[in-house]
Each structure stands twice: as C-alpha cells, then as structure tokens.
Amino acid sequence: MRAVAAVAVTLWVREIARVLGTTTRRVTAAAAVSCVLLILFGLGLALVAGAQLGDGIAVELRLSLARTSFSAAAMTAGIVAVILCLSAPPRTALQNLLDLLPVSRAAARLGQLAPVLVAGLVYSAALTSTAVVVVLRTSPGGADALRGIASYVVLLASFLLGAVAAFTALQAAAIVLLRLPVPYASTFSGVVVLAGVLALTAPDILALRPSPSDDGGSAELLPARAFARLAAAPDPASAAAAVLWAVIAVVLLWRVSRHHVPGAPRAAIRLLRRTRPIRRTAWWGQLWAELLIAVRTPQFVVTALLLPLGVLAVWVLARTVPASALVVPMLAGSLPVLPFVLAVNAVGRTLRTHWLSRLAGGDRVPVLGPKALAAGCAGVALGAPALVAVLLAGLIPATQIPDIAVRCALGLAAGLLCGAIVPYSEEQPLSASAAGFLLAFVYMSITLASGWVAGVAAPGTDRVLILAAITVLAALYAGIAARQTRREPTRA
C-alpha cells in the first residue's frame, strides 16, 4: 500500500510539472508551501476563535462546548470526504495497471486513496481548528489537552474514512444492483452519505439547550459525543464507544476496498444535442465546443441533481429549526455560487486536446475567452434557477443579490486560476483534490479578508475588494493559461 501511494504521488507531481513546464522539485516545494499556508490559515481561524472565547469557562459548560465543536468538526470532515469522492475520476490508468500486477485490491485501492485522505485530513483540520482552541481552553492540564487533541484528530480521520467507505459501498450498490450510470450513482451516494453525516452531527450543532438524552442513553453513543466526552470528561463507556467508531470506519473501508466494482454503464450525457455554433467562426466554434464539454461532464450533472435537493434541505432547515436562522441566509446564498466553482475543471478537461485546434487553425483559434465564457454560461444555467428558488422560498432577501453575483464571479475567476495551476486530470485523483483545496483556500481567504475590512471600514468596501481580487485572479489565469497554450504544439 505504501508503494502504491508513493507511485500515485510521484505520477501526480510529474504530470503537474510537465503541464506547467517546470521541475518536480518546484512542484514539491510549491505543495509544501501550500500546506504551510493552509496550516497558517487554520491557525488564524483558531486565533480569531480564541479571542472570542472567554478565559473563564464554567465546568458544566465544558462538555457541551466540546460536543458542539467536535460535531462541527466531524460534519466538516464528512462533507470534505463527500466532495473528494464526487470530484475524483471513477477509474484511472494506474488502477488498470495495478489490476494486471500481483497487487491485492485492498492495497491498490487504499494506496491510491492514502494521499487524498491525508490531504483531506489536513484541510479538515485547518477548517475546524477552532475545536483545538476549545480543547486547550477546557483542559485542566497538559495531559488532558493532549488526550483531547488526539480525540479530535481520530474523530476527523474516522469520519473521513467512514464517509469514503460508505460512499464507495453505496456507489457500487447503485451501479451493480440498480444499473445506474456513474453520475447518478454518485449523486445518490453523496445525498445518502451527507444525510447520514448531518444526522450524526446536527443534534449537537443546532441544539440551544440540553436535551434529556444529555444525561445518558443511546444518543451518547453518537461518534462526536463519544469523542467529545473522551476529550472533556472521559469514562470507560465513552472510550469504548470512541474506539468502536474508529475501528468500524477502518474495517468498513478495508472491506469495501477488497471488492471489485465492475464497469458502470456509461450512458452518454446528451445535453445540448443537435446544436451548432451561432456563427461559423473560430471563436464561436470554440465557445460551442467548450460549452458542450462543460455541460456534459459528470460534475455538472451531479451539481444539477444536488442543487434542488440543497434548496429543499435549507428550506426544511429554516422551517423546522428556529436556531438555524443565523446560518440559513449563508447556506442559501452559497447554493448559486456552487456551479461557478466547477470552472476549476475547465482547463484540465481540454488540456490534452487543445493542440488539435491549434494545429488546424493556428494562432487564430481563441482559447482563453471562450473557455471562461463557457464556464460562466454553465454556471449561470444552474446558478440562476437556484437563486430564483431561494428567493421565492424566502431564504434570502433580494438585497443580497449583488453580493451573490459578486461571489459567483469570484468563484468563476478563482476556479479558472486554480484549475490552470493544478489542471484536472481523469488519471490523477490527487489533482482534483489539490485544485479543490486551493480553490477553497483562495475563495475563503478573499471573502474573509474583504469581510473583515468591511467591518472596520465603510460598508460596501467588501464588494470593491472582491472586484479587485477578481481582476487580479482573471489576469493571473490569462497569463498562466496563455503560457500553457503556447507550449501545446511542442508538447503534442
């Protein structure tokens, strides 16, 4: 398994170096710097949370605070795991090669998953670093703090492994038993796993007052509660429950990885059939081709299926849980932005075939403009109905539309840039993970920084800063993508 993981990482580093026209050392150094920046980002979030958390925390509130923070961390890890599964290619050339070698299925599968899971663990820890602050503030001694941090890390790993295992098992069942194509099987698996993650973590996140089950009962066996009690108020029962959940996640992933999933029925996605370019020019032809590729990708289909479910879930949350009034506008406002970040796959999807149009039409064939416009049109096709739905449902006020539009443009620009830096590859699952993490880091950094500046300066400053950031991101994308385009005939 270790050898397979090393081979997967080496292949990914070499492919990125080849695409960017640089050396493997520089790619490795850039990856290390990205990890350091991600850790610093997590530390910054932890410092902000620590400043808001008072020093004097009552003893009776420590367990409740630990439950809330651990449940939020577990939910984040589960969501990250589902996103990793949805963005990963269904099968790679490395897997086809390993099938011909004397390598066990479990070793081959787990070896390819290991780098992605490690990246997911680091990213989840950075996003949920506030839980570490809670552990440090509620621990009476150094040994208690170490036990709490260890419980937090094991909880994140358990949810990552368990969510990936459950997604893989459900996807295989949908493909084999229901004969669903991969996009629909992935959507089904993602919805079920997300529902399970929310069911296991939401009770402690949304609860404003203790429930009768807080004094004992089957609810105490929930994974986040077991790990939180192990961190804040350990007892034999909580320790046994935490160990059991961790073992279940590991065993489930190992069992799932040992089974071979036969090839899925690859039903072609025939969106925009019998269409043709508006005008018979190179620019319109390239735009039409890019738009066809964008709307026929599995990620586009999965997003189109998930958005209505997301709107329905937020509406149900707003109607049934009064405590969610503070987060409902944020959740509803993020739904129209989601289709625009799919631009992160735009560059990599056509990178191997750009040289064909260049060879046929020379330098007159445009690439950058049609690609960006096609990604934007695909985002509008899904984002506009989602925006109308959340407006009609009363989940967001109409005054929030300009902010959502600006964030959609930010997601598009950040997606194009990050997709040019780490191009999507159907042969490298780590490419999708790395590009997604980079995109989330860039997007969150810009939005958080602009929001902070708007809080200390005049209202509306955040929009100006985001528009300036969009201009910078678009210029960087144009420069990097143009450099790749110039190298395509030579690479071909």
Residue 442's pLDDT is what? 93
CA 78/CA 150 separation, integer angstroms: 18
Q: Are 473 and 412 in contact (CB under 8 A)?
A: no
- Which 8-state DSSP code applies to residue 208? S
Amino acid identity, residue 401?
I
Write down the pTM of the prediction: 0.85
CA 27/CA 16 separation, integer angstroms: 7
Judging by beta carbons within 10 Å of its beta carbon (0-12, 13-18, 19+), is residue 247 exposed, middle or buried? exposed
* Residue 66 parent element (H or E): helix 59-87
Residue 212's pLDDT is what? 46
Q: Around Cβ 330, how many Cβ atoms within 10 Å?
A: 10
| pLDDT by position in tens, the chain (length 492) | 788 999 889 988 888 888 777 889 998 998 888 888 888 888 887 877 776 666 556 656 778 888 888 999 999 999 999 999 888 877 777 877 888 888 888 888 899 899 999 999 999 998 898 888 888 888 888 888 899 999 999 999 999 999 999 999 999 888 888 888 888 888 899 999 999 999 898 888 876 444 444 555 667 788 999 999 888 888 888 899 999 999 999 999 999 988 765 554 455 567 777 788 888 887 888 888 889 988 988 889 889 989 999 999 999 888 887 777 878 899 899 999 999 999 998 888 877 776 666 665 555 557 788 899 999 999 999 999 999 999 999 999 999 999 999 999 999 999 999 999 988 887 777 888 888 889 999 999 999 889 888 878 777 788 899 999 999 999 999 888 877 766 655 544
Residue 289's pLDDT is what? 86
Residue 213's pLDDT is what? 47
Q: Around Cβ 82, how many Cβ atoms within 10 Å?
A: 22
Residue 135's pLDDT is what? 86
Residue 267's pLDDT is what? 54
Residue carrying the six token digits 């998930």: 306
Residue 137's pLDDT is what? 81
Residue 351's pLDDT is what? 75
Residue 208's pLDDT is what? 43
- Integer CA distances (angstroms), 174 to 169, 177, 195, 361, 424, in order: 9, 6, 17, 44, 26
* Residue 490 parent element (H or E): helix 461-491
Q: Which two tokens stand for residue 184?
A: 């629909």
- What's the start-to-end Cα distance of the chain, in Å? 34
